[in-house]
């Protein structure tokens, strides 16, 4: 389920600026264009937060630089 939510968020983060540009070129409301761009930035930030591993995550040790050092 999380994969689907992330995929939709990424698609919307790309589609919203394109839609905002089209709306701006057609003479749409500046406020709506600005809100679409703000929403795209917020979505991109949320995706980045969801994707970055944390220390409590079991995959953290696989991503840490010290895990790749052989003794």
Which residues form the domain of 33? 2-54
State how many domains the chain has.
1
Predicted TM-score of the model (pTM)? 0.71
Gap between the terminal Cα atoms of the chain: 39
How far apart CA 22 and CA 63 sit, in angstroms, is 40
Q: Is residue 65 part of a domain?
A: no
Query: What digits encode the pLDDT tens for the residues 38-68?
Result: 999 999 999 999 888 777 776 666 655 655 5
Inside any domain, residue 63? no
Buried b (16+ CB within 10 A) or exposed e, 27-52: eeeeeebeebbeebeebbeebeeeee
User: What's the rounded mean pLDDT across residues 17-39?
Assistant: 95
Q: Are the CB atoms for 37 and 16 separated by under 8 Å?
A: yes
Q: With respect to residue 39, please indicate whether it lies within any of the assigned structural domains.
A: yes
């Amino acid at each position: 389920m999380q994969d689907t939510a992330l995929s939709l968020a990424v698609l919307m983060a790309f589609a919203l600026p394109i839609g905002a540009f089209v709306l701006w070129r057609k003479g749409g409301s500046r406020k709506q264009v600005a809100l679409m761009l703000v929403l795209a930035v917020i979505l991109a930030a949320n995706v980045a937060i969801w994707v970055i591993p944390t220390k409590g995550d079991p995959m953290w040790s696989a991503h840490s630089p010290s895990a790749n050092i052989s003794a």
